[in-house]
C-alpha cells in the first residue's frame, strides 16, 4: 500500500533524490518506522493509508504506544501533526531495535543510559558463593557477552568501556562494597587470550572494533540491500572502494564503520579483476603490503597517488608522472615496480576482497580479534602521513641523464596540486517527520 501510494505521489518519504518516492518505511516484526515529509496533504494521505490498513486486515495500530519525531518544524506544526496521528511527540535519540538513533554524535548522557543498563545486568550476578574459577567462567560465558549487541553498532567511548571493565573486574576479584579485595592482576592482562598469557576474558575495546568490522563482510555480500545502496549513494563508497571511505559528514554509525575499516584494512588483500576499484599505490593487492609501503620513496614523488590499477597500466607500459627527476637508486626501484606491474592480468570480472587471516578468505571477528588482542596492533595509515616537503626529497645522489627507458614509460614532470579531490555537496536543511509505531 505504501509503495503504490508513493508511486502515485500521494506520500513522500526520506531521500526522494535517492529513489523515486524516497524511503518510506523500515520494519522488523511489529516494530515499524515510517518516514514522511511534513507537507500537510501528504501526512493526511499517510494517516488514511494507516486507517485503511486497519479496516482491510482487521488489525489495529496502537497509536498511544507510538510516537512521532519532528525535525526542523515550528512548535505549532509539531502540535498539529501529533494531533493528526494521535501520538505523543518524541525526541532524538529514538530507540529502534534497542539501538539509539540520532543524526548527531551521541552525547555522554545518552551513552550513560546504555552503560547503566549494562552495569545493572552485570551487577545482578554477584557470585558471592562462587569460587574464583567459577566467577571467571561466569564472566567469560555470560557477563562479558551482555554488551555485545550494542558493541556491534556503536563505537563505545573509552570511559564507557572502562566502567564496564571495572564492574567485571570487581566481580572477578569479589570486590564489592563492604568486602574490599585487592585486584591481583591488571585487567588488560586478564583480557588477553590464554596463549598470550591472559585469562581469556574478552577485551571489550578490541571486541568493539572486530564486531564493527563484521559490517565490512555484510557490505561485500549485501548486493541489492537498501542500506548498502544508501551507503554508496551518500558516501560514495564505490569511488573507488569501501576501504578508502571517508567519514566526513557521516552519521554516528558510519563513523564507527570507518573506524573499524582502518583497523581491519591490514587483513584484506585485493584480487585483481578489471582493476577499476583497486588503488594502484595505496591498496594491498600484491604481497602482504601496498606498493606505497614497499616503495615509499617513489610514492611520495609520484603525482597519481589515488589512481586505480587500470589507469596507469595499459598492458605494456606503466604510466606515472613524478615531480622531479629521480636518482639512480630510485630509478632501480621504479624498474622493480614495473616488473611487479607486468604480473597484472586484467579480466572482465570485478575486483574482490580476500581476508588473509583465515583459510576461508572470508572476514570473521574471531580472526581479527586474535590479531589485535596481542597487546594491540596500530596499523600505519600512509595516506595521512604524506608530507610534500619530505627530507628525502632534498637528498639527491645523482640524476639519470635523459630519463632512461627500460621496458617502461617513465614520465617526469611538475606537480599540479589539487586540494579539491573530495568535493562534498553542501549540507541541506530538510524537514522530516518520523512515526514509530508500536505493537498492540
Tell me the per-residue pLDDT of 358-377, one tens digit each, with 9 for 90 and over: 888 899 988 898 888 876 44
Whole-angstrom Cα distance, residue 323 to residue 281? Answer: 16
What is the arithmetic mean of pLDDT over 328-347?
89
Q: Which of 112-121, 210-219, 391-400 has the lowest mean pLDDT?
A: 391-400
| In the predicted structure, residue 340 carries a pLDDT above the cut 60 | yes
> Are 281 and 317 in contact, with CB atoms under 8 Å apart?
no
- Look at residue 391 in the predicted model and tell me its pLDDT: 42
Element (H, E) at 161: helix 158-172
What is the arithmetic mean of pLDDT over 13-23?
80
Share the mean pLDDT of the chain. Answer: 79
pTM of the model: 0.78
- Look at residue 143 in the predicted model and tell me its pLDDT: 84
Distances in Å between the Cα of 420 and the Cα atoms of 122, 236, 303, 411, 417 are 50, 16, 15, 24, 9
Q: Which of 163-172, 231-240, 301-310, 380-389 has the lowest mean pLDDT?
A: 380-389
Distances in Å between the Cα of 431 and the Cα atoms of 9, 44, 126, 385 are 18, 16, 49, 40
Q: Which of 29-33, 155-159, 256-260 has the lowest mean pLDDT?
A: 29-33
What is the arithmetic mean of pLDDT over 2-17?
83
> Which three-class secondary structure state does DSSP give residue 70?
strand
> Confidence band (pLDDT; 50, 70, 90) for 98?
confident
- Look at residue 212 in the predicted model and tell me its pLDDT: 93
> Confidence band (pLDDT; 50, 70, 90) for 435?
low
| In the predicted structure, residue 434 carries a pLDDT above the cut 60 | no
> Confidence band (pLDDT; 50, 70, 90) for 437?
low
Whole-angstrom Cα distance, residue 152 to residue 150? Answer: 5
The angle at the Cα of 21, spanning 16 to 24, to the nearest 5 degrees, equals 95
- Look at residue 123 in the predicted model and tell me its pLDDT: 74
> Confidence band (pLDDT; 50, 70, 90) for 215?
very high
> Confidence band (pLDDT; 50, 70, 90) for 93?
confident
> Confidence band (pLDDT; 50, 70, 90) for 390?
very low
| In the predicted structure, residue 423 carries a pLDDT above the cut 80 | no
Element (H, E) at 28: strand 25-28
What is the arithmetic mean of pLDDT over 304-319?
85
C-alpha cell at 98: 534497542
- DSSP symbols for 318-374: B-EEESSPPPHHHHHHHHHHHHHHTT----SSPPEEEESSSTT-S--HHHHHHHHTT
- Look at residue 409 in the predicted model and tell me its pLDDT: 35
Q: Which of 94-98, 391-395, 406-410 has the lowest mean pLDDT?
A: 406-410
According to DSSP, the β-strands at 432-438 and 268-271 are: unpaired
Comparison of pLDDT for 220 and 130, the residue scoring more: 220
What is the arithmetic mean of pLDDT over 4-20?
82
- Look at residue 436 in the predicted model and tell me its pLDDT: 55
What is the arithmetic mean of pLDDT over 38-56?
88
What is the arithmetic mean of pLDDT over 308-326?
85
Whole-angstrom Cα distance, residue 324 to residue 157? Answer: 45
**Residue pointed to by grid coordinates 574478552:** 202
Residue 309 C-beta-side C-alpha neighbours within 13 Å: 28
φ/ψ of 338, rounded to 5, equals -60, -40
Please compute Rg for the chain using Cα positions: 27
Q: What is the percent of the chain where pLDDT is above 70?
A: 83
C-alpha cell at 388: 610534500
What is the arithmetic mean of pLDDT over 127-139?
80
> Confidence band (pLDDT; 50, 70, 90) for 320?
confident
- Look at residue 128 in the predicted model and tell me its pLDDT: 67
Tell me the per-residue pLDDT of 167-213, one tens digit each, with 9 for 90 and over: 888 888 877 766 777 788 888 888 888 888 888 888 899 999 999 99
Q: What is the percent of the chain where pLDDT is above 90?
A: 8
- DSSP symbols for 198-253: S-----HHHHHHHHHHHHHHHHHT-TT-HHHHHHHHHH-TTSS-GGG---TT--HH
φ/ψ of 220, rounded to 5, equals -70, -25
What is the arithmetic mean of pLDDT over 280-295?
88
Amino acid at each position: 500500500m505504501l509503495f503504490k501510494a508513493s508511486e502515485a505521489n500521494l506520500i513522500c518519504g526520506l531521500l526522494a533524490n535517492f529513489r523515486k518516492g524516497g524511503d518510506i518505511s523500515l520494519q522488523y516484526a511489529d516494530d515499524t518506522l515510517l518516514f514522511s515529509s511534513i507537507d500537510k496533504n501528504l501526512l493526511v494521505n499517510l494517516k488514511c493509508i494507516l486507517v485503511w490498513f486497519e479496516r482491510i486486515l482487521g488489525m489495529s495500530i496502537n497509536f498511544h504506544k507510538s510516537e512521532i519525531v519532528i525535525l526542523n518544524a515550528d512548535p505549532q506544526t509539531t502540535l498539529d501533526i501529533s494531533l493528526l496521528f494521535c501520538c505523543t511527540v518524541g525526541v532524538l535519540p529514538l530507540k529502534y531495535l534497542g539501538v539509539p538513533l540520532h543524526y548527531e554524535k551521541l552525547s555522554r548522557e545518552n551513552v550513560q543510559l546504555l552503560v547503566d543498563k549494562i552495569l545493572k545486568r552485570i551487577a545482578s550476578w554477584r557470585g558471592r558463593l562462587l569460587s574464583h574459577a567459577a566467577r571467571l567462567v561466569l564472566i567469560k560465558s555470560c557477563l562479558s557477552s551482555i554488551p555485545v549487541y550494542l558493541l556491534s553498532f556503536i563505537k563505545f567511548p573509552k570511559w564507557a568501556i572502562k566502567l564496564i571493565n571495572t564492574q567485571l573486574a570487581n566481580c572477578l576479584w569479589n570486590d564489592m562494597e563492604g568486602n574490599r579485595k585487592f585486584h591481583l592482576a591488571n585487567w588488560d592482562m586478564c583480557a588477553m587470550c590464554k596463549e598470550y598469557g591472559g585469562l581469556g576474558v574478552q577485551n571489550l575495546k578490541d571486541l568493539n572494533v572486530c564486531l564493527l568490522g563484521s559490517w565490512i563482510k555484510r557490505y561485500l555480500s549485501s548486493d541489492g540491500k537498501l542500506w548498502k545502496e544508501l551507503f554508496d549513494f551518500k558516501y560514495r563508497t564505490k569511488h573507488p572502494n569501501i576501504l578508502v571511505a571517508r567519514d566526513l559528514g557521516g552519521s554516528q554509525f558510519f563513523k564507527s564503520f570507518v573506524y573499524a575499516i582502518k583497523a581491519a584494512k591490514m587483513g584484506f588483500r585485493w584480487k585483481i579483476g578489471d582493476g577499476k576499484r583497486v588503488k594502484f599505490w595505496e591498496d594491498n593487492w600484491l604481497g602482504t603490503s601496498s606498493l606505497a609501503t614497499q616503495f615509499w620513496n617513489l610514492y611520495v614523488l609520484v603525482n597519481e597517488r589515488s589512481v586505480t590499477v587500470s589507469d596507469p597500466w595499459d598492458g605494456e607500459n606503466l604510466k606515472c608522472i613524478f615531480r622531479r627527476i629521480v636518482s639512480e637508486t630510485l630509478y632501480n626501484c621504479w624498474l622493480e615496480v614495473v616488473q611487479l606491474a607486468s604480473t597484472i592480468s586484467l579480466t572482465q570480472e570485478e575486483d574482490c576482497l580476500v581476508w588473509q587471516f583465515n583459510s576461508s578468505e572470508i572476514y570473521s571477528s574471531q580472526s581479527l580479534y586474535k590479531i589485535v588482542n596481542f597487546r594491540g596492533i596500530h596499523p600505519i595509515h600512509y595516506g595521512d602521513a604524506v608530507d610534500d616537503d619530505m627530507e628525502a626529497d632534498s637528498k639527491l645522489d645523482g640524476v639519470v641523464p635523459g630519463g632512461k627507458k627500460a621496458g617502461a614509460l617513465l614520465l617526469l614532470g611538475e606537480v599540479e596540486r589539487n586540494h579539491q579531490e573530495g568535493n562534498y555537496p553542501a549540507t541541506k536543511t530538510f524537514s522530516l517527520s518520523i512515526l514509530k509505531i508500536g505493537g498492540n
